[in-house]
């Protein structure tokens, strides 16, 4: 038996305040009964006492394997710093703000705690932690905090101390592993016969591998600090012991304790926070999904790009302090209110939804039920995939297929709240599957192929679906890239192909299996319905969660504002609206195109879709419009005759100028052209016609005019400060440049597993209620208060004019903060695009913040062969076109755009490229 006394770490470890280091003797329990063990731990309690600040409670932080309490150094420092700032404040109320004490332990045989040489399974480690807190006479309120296997140990302590517990916080960890599912490959390798001792104890291989699991290499001094307690094999025994204690199956000695903890965690009804690094080869999103099942009320944030050592990848301590402040009232009183026999998380959510008032709720599938016997055409697919011609599906056929698929999904175990990822292109099959899922309360995950392979993988894995329904290309990607979910093919596959792709069912199988299965109760308006994904033009695509009531509100505002009837007919070359036809009770058609590449849509394809459907309304994205106009010369006289029947044309996906919108008039001469403004989070906010854009032109306004709010929608502007941040109280004051803030009945509910993003998008501010675009305040002093509106910060910048019209001027991250203040790019870009030789333009900033200079990057009508400085003649013409001083004009063969809409210019990428090029870098393409 190898033993070694506890000690203190060196005083010069980066980021670690030596004042926090403590060693204490703890009476042993379990295998240590009758013994005393020395623990090393970090504690900022004495420093807080020195400041004399009140203590809100204690954060009990437990490290994983093979780290030690050093992992929590930033939290110890920042909680103390926050207390010092409060104590030094002039405001007495700020000085009295309570602080959180942080105690970060070194588990026995780990860090600088005693080396006991005794096997310590999970139950023993939970008992160890209890013995430690009892020795310190730790009382509530306590928030447990854990990472890796320290997460399990911390939760074991938490469920055993509910009377002291006031909340739980977790970084990448797990409390359950499905029977029969292999443990993660790195752990299998470490546990392999002959490898365990060699990789974990005799050599530092396991330690070094773990220290490499960060998005950027650790600072060498920080990496050496993690090595400090584990210099010799004798001091690494605990590392091997932890790996050996992983309960791979029910025969393992720690399995029952893990199961006990997992079951008890689901009964906790307390504030919870989970900060997650999805690039973790050990604790993947599979484990996060399980934890969310158990703690569905938790605030969760996935940091794309972060890995296993998430505390080293992101400023987690900042976020913990933010969460503590947001939940101060809830965290003040320890004790969980849940009863031991409380329902499962999904049952609890269903029960909450059942109490909501659904008297006015009309579900999306209402028209399918209403027209179940109608033989008229509902959906047309113009695709020629597989050498087949256009498909027409009647309302009766669609309704029947939806119900059959819904029954089949129910038969194989799909339940309300479970997620179903759809990897099916727009058309009758996708339409039927979408409405079948919605009908039974399953949450559809719609991440279209336009995100690209990487973006699509992030989206699917981030949402962690329970089921995947796809055509062969999507299923091949799911298999190759390891996407989660039970796989269902749209077509019946040969047995060998199905086995190769891991396919469990086909849609035909579902229809057969569901023949005698009754449909479940319909979901309620407050139930989650869909997760849609943003374009990814300003960072990784975000999952946007809509509830059934919000989707129905979107249908209603679209039908009302654009006067959609059963006879209207829709041609939908813009994927988000391709599925709304059945909800609106009108036929819909998707033209022949690659929906992941809008530029593949041609004028003839639009004409063919109009002819097949008799549609009078057409939806297109700006990128699609460019190619439709470019291919107008291919139209036949019959094509032009068919396009004359179109009465409404909508450009959706990004605001566009009057010239591009007007160009459509040469193809659809009788159509009123609309350019609605919206985003994935709120698909329709404002609307303006071509005539409206022309009427707004010629004034002092800059940007793209997108009109006034429609329906019950509301708009505000949060003014930018000198740093380019939107800090102003949202108002309707005209002429103020700021972030656009919106409210609408169909505004999304929340972002999926992005708590911080949600928090920022819904930042609380004082909102005026007596100005243009909102329900004006009543003169009656006794008028009842209206329900508080939900507001969303869009990340777009612009201004309102005197008539309440919105002008969009770019994205918040693209604002150029100069020495004289912030400048939005779109107005100058419009000036530059007036130059005859310029096809498209982007204006970006270079240089240090608040001293940035503007640069124009242009894509020319006659394509530039090599990127670099524009010709002197073009430079002069561009500079003359705008009042904005430009330090340079650069020309590129093609401006980079987002991969989904091909219309949103990637200004952030261009800014980095321009700065590098002007500093003497190679003239490569941006």
State yes or no: pLDDT of 263 exceeds 70.
yes
Instruction: Tell me the C-alpha distance between 8 and 627, whole Å.
Output: 69
CA–chain centroid gap for 551, Å, is: 19
% of the chain with per-residue pLDDT over 90: 70
Where is average pLDDT lowest: 119-123, 239-243, 427-431, 896-900? 896-900
Could you say which DSSP state residue 677 is in? E
Instruction: Please check the confidence at residue 881 and state whether its pLDDT lies above 50.
Output: yes
State the SS3 of 745-759: CCCCCEECCEHHHHH
Compute the Cα dihedral for 279, 281, 286, 290 and give only its sign.
negative
Predicted model pTM: 0.89
The H or E element containing residue 105 is strand 99-105
Q: How confident is the model at residue 541 (pLDDT cuts 50, 70, 90)?
A: confident
CATH number of 366-548: 3.40.50.12780
Please give the pLDDT value at position 357: 67
Does residue 52 register a pLDDT over 50? yes
Query: Which of the four pLDDT bands, split at 50, 70 and 90, describes residue 782?
Result: very low
Distance CA 590, CA 588 (A): 7
| CB contact at 8 A, 606 and 644 | no
Q: What is the DSSP string of 788-856?
A: PPP-EEEEEEEEE-TTS-EEEEEEGGG-EEETTEEE-SHHHHHHHTTSTTEEEEEEEEESSTTS-EEEE
> Quick one: which H or E segment has residue 604?
helix 603-613
User: How many Å apart are CA 726 and CA 572, to the nearest integer?
Assistant: 35
pLDDT at 193: 65
Per-residue pLDDT at 176 exceeds 70: yes
Helices (H) and strands (E) in the chain, counts: 33, 36
Question: Looking at residues 878-888, what average pLDDT do you find?
Answer: 94
Q: Of residues 140 and 240, which shows the higher confidence score? A: 240
C-alpha of 851 from chain center: 32
| CA within 13 Å, CB half, 86 | 20
Distance, CA of 231 to CA of 210 (rounded, Å): 15
In this structure, of 133-137, 337-341, 388-392, 889-893, the range with the lowest mean pLDDT score is 337-341
| Residue intervals in the chain for CATH 3.40.50.12780 | 366-548
Question: Could you give the CA distance from residue 177 to residue 635 in angstroms, rounded to a whole number?
Answer: 60
CATH class of 677-774+790-813: mainly beta
SS3 573: coil
Structure tokens at 430: 């996708």
Scanning 17-91, the segments in alpha helix (DSSP H) are 45-51, 73-88
More confident residue, 137 or 91: 137
Answer for the pair 519, 405: CB distance below 8 angstroms, yes or no. Answer: no
Determine contact, residues 895/838, Cβ cutoff 8 Å: no
Candidates 448, 420, 447, 452; CA nearest to 434 is: 420
User: pLDDT at residue 810 above 50?
Assistant: yes
pLDDT band at 473 (very low <50, low <70, confident <90, very high): confident
| Cβ contacts of 885 within 8 Å, gap of 6 or more | 853, 854
Q: Provide CB contacts within 8 A for 284, sequence distance 6+.
A: 184, 278
Closest CA to 582 of 711, 404, 422, 432: 432
Tell me the two tokens of residue 729: 């109280």
Strands of 853-860's sheet in order across: 838-846, 853-860, 886-892, 868-869
3-state secondary structure of 89: coil
Kindly report the average pLDDT of the chain as a whole number.
Answer: 89
Residues of the chain with CATH 3.40.50.1820: 18-332
Choose the weakest-confidence range: 51-55, 476-480, 669-673: 476-480
How far, in Å, CA of 207 to CA of 860, rounded? Answer: 54
Report which of residues 789 and 62 the model is more confident about: 62
Residue 138: both structure tokens together: 């730790």
Residues of the chain with CATH 3.30.300.30: 815-918
DSSP string, 245-261: T---STTSTTHHHHHHH
**How much is the pLDDT for 576?**
64
Q: Which CATH architecture has domain 18-332?
A: 3-Layer(aba) Sandwich (3.40)
Tokens of 194: 């002959």
Q: Could you please report the per-residue DSSP string of 503-516?
A: EEEEHHHHHHHTTT
Question: How far, in Å, are 136, 147, 199, 205, 842 from residue 209 at the CA level?
Answer: 34, 17, 10, 6, 44
Q: Name the nearest CA neighbour of 132 among 25, 44, 47.
A: 25
Whole-angstrom distance, CA of residue 567 vs CA of residue 490: 30
Share of the chain above pLDDT 70, in %: 90
CATH 2.30.38.10 spans which residues of the chain?
677-774+790-813
Query: Lowest-confidence range among 285-289, 696-700, 861-865, 897-901?
Result: 897-901
Query: pLDDT at residue 477 above 90?
Result: no
Among 464, 460, 418, 411, which Cα is nearest to 438's?
418
- What's the pLDDT score for residue 776? 34
Fold (CATH) for 815-918:
GMP Synthetase; Chain A, domain 3 (3.30.300)
Distance, CA of 108 to CA of 7 (rounded, Å): 12
Distance between CA atoms of 844 and 823, rounded to whole angstroms? 10
- Transcribe 523-572 into DSSP letters: PPTTSEEEEEE---TTSS--EEEEEHHHHHHHHHHHHHHTT--TTT-EEE
Q: Encode pLDDT of 708-762 as tens digits.
A: 999 999 999 999 999 999 999 999 999 999 999 999 999 999 999 999 999 998 8
- At residue 925, does pLDDT exceed 90? no
Q: Please state the φ and ψ torsions of residue 102, each to the nearest 5 degrees.
A: -120, 125
pLDDT digits (tens, 9 = 90+) for 618-651: 988 877 888 899 999 999 999 999 999 999 999 8
When pLDDT is averaged across residues 252-256 and rounded to a whole number, the result is: 93
pLDDT over threshold 90, residue 311: yes
pLDDT at 331: 94
Note whether 701 and 807 are within 8 A (CB). Answer: yes
CA pair distance 90, 664, nearest whole angstrom: 63
pLDDT of residue 343 exceeding 70, the answer is no
Residue 636 to residue 630: CA distance in whole angstroms: 15
In this structure, is the dihedral angle defined by the CA atoms of residues 563, 565, 568 and 569, taken in order, positive or negative?
positive
Report residue 55's pLDDT band, with 50, 70 and 90 as the boundaries.
Answer: very high
The alpha-carbon radius of gyration of the chain (Å, integer) is 30
């Amino acid at each position: 038996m190898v033993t070694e006394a506890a000690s203190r770490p060196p005083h010069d470890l980066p980021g670690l305040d030596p004042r926090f280091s403590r060693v204490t003797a703890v009476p042993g329990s379990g295998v240590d009964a009758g013994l005393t063990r020395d623990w090393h731990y970090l504690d900022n309690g004495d420093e807080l006492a020195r400041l004399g600040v009140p203590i809100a409670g204690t954060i009990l932080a437990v490290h994983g394997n093979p780290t030690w309490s050093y992992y929590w150094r930033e939290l110890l420092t920042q909680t103390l710093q926050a207390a010092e700032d409060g104590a030094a404040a002039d405001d007495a109320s700020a000085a009295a703000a309570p602080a959180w004490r942080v105690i970060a332990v070194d588990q026995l045989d780990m860090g600088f705690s005693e080396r006991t040489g005794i096997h310590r399974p999970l139950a023993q480690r939970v008992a160890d932690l209890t013995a430690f807190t009892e020795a310190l006479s730790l009382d509530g309120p306590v928030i447990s905090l854990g990472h890796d296997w320290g997460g399990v140990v911390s939760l074991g302590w938490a469920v055993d101390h509910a009377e002291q517990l006031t909340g739980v916080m977790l970084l990448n960890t797990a409390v359950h592993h499905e029977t029969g599912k292999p443990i993660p490959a790195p752990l299998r390798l470490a546990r392999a016969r002959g490898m365990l001792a060699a990789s974990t104890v005799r050599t530092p291989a396991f330690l070094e591998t773990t220290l490499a699991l960060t998005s950027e290499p650790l600072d060498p001094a920080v990496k050496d600090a993690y090595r400090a307690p584990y210099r010799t094999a004798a001091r690494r025994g605990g590392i091997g012991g932890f790996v050996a204690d992983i309960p791979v199956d029910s025969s393992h000695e720690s399995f029952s304790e893990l199961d006990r903890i997992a079951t008890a965690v689901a009964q906790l009804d307390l504030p919870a926070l989970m900060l997650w690094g999805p690039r973790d080869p050990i604790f993947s999103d599979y484990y996060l999904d399980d934890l969310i099942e158990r703690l569905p009320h938790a605030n969760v944030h996935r940091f794309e790009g972060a890995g296993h050592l998430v505390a080293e990848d992101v400023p987690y301590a900042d976020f913990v302090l933010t969460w503590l402040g947001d939940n101060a009232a809830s965290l003040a009183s320890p004790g969980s209110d849940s009863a031991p026999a409380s329902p499962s998380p999904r049952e609890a959510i269903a029960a909450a939804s059942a109490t909501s008032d659904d008297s006015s709720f009309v579900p999306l599938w209402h028209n399918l039920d209403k027209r179940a016997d109608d033989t008229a055409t509902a959906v047309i697919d113009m695709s020629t995939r597989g050498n087949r011609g256009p498909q027409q599906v009647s309302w009766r056929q669609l309704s029947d297929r939806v119900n059959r698929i819904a029954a089949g999904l129910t038969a194989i175990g799909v339940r309300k709240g479970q997620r179903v990822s759809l990897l099916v292109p727009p058309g009758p099959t996708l339409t039927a599957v979408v409405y079948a899922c919605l009908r039974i309360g399953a949450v559809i995950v719609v991440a279209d192929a336009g995100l690209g392979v990487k973006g699509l993988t992030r989206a699917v894995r981030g949402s962690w679906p329970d089921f995947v329904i796809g055509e062969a290309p999507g299923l091949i990607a799911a298999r190759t890239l390891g996407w989660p979910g039970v796989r269902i093919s749209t077509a019946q596959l040969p047995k060998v192909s199905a086995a190769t792709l891991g396919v469990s069912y086909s849609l035909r199988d579902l229809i057969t299996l569901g023949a005698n299965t009754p449909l479940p109760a319909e979901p309620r308006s407050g139930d989650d319905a869909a997760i849609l994904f943003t374009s990814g033009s300003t960072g990784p695509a975000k999952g946007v969660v809509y509830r059934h009531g919000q989707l129905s509100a979107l249908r209603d505002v679209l039908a009302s504002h654009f006067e959609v009837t059963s006879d209207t007919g829709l041609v939908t070359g813009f994927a988000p609206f391709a599925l709304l036809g059945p909800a609106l009770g009108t036929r819909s058609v998707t033209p022949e195109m690659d929906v992941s590449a809008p530029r593949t849509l041609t004028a003839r394809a639009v004409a063919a879709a109009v002819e097949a459907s008799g549609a009078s309304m057409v939806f297109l994205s700006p990128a699609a419009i460019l190619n439709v106009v470019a291919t107008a010369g291919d139209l036949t006289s019959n094509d032009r005759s068919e396009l004359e029947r179109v009465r409404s044309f909508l450009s959706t996906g990004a605001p566009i100028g009057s010239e591009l919108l007007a160009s459509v008039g040469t193809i659809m001469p009788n159509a009123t052209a609309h350019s609605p403004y919206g985003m994935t989070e709120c698909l329709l906010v404002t609307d303006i016609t071509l005539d409206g854009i022309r009427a707004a032109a010629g004034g002092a306004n800059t940007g793209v005019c997108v009109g006034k709010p429609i329906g019950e929608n509301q708009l505000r502007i949060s003014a930018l400060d000198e740093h380019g941040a939107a800090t102003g109280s949202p108002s309707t004051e005209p002429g103020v440049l700021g972030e656009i803030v919106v409210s609408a009945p169909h505004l999304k509910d929340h972002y999926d597993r992005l708590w911080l993003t949600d928090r920022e998008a819904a930042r609380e501010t004082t909102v005026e209620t007596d100005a243009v675009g909102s329900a004006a305040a009543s003169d009656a002093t006794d008028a009842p208060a209206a329900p508080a509106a939900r507001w969303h910060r869009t990340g777009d910048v612009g201004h309102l004019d005197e008539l309440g019209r919105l002008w969009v001027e770019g994205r918040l991250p693209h604002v150029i903060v100069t020495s004289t203040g912030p400048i939005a790019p779109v107005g100058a870009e419009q000036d530059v695009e007036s130059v005859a030789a310029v096809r498209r333009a982007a204006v970006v900033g270079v240089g240090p913040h608040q001293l940035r200079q503007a640069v124009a990057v242009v894509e020319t009508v006659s394509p530039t062969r090599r990127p670099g400085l524009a010709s002197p003649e073009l430079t002069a013409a561009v500079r003359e076109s705008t009042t904005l001083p430009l330090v340079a004009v650069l020309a590129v063969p093609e401006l980079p755009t987002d991969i989904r809409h091909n219309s949103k210019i990637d200004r952030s990428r261009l800014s980095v490229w321009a700065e590098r090029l002007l500093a003497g870098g190679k003239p490569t393409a941006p």
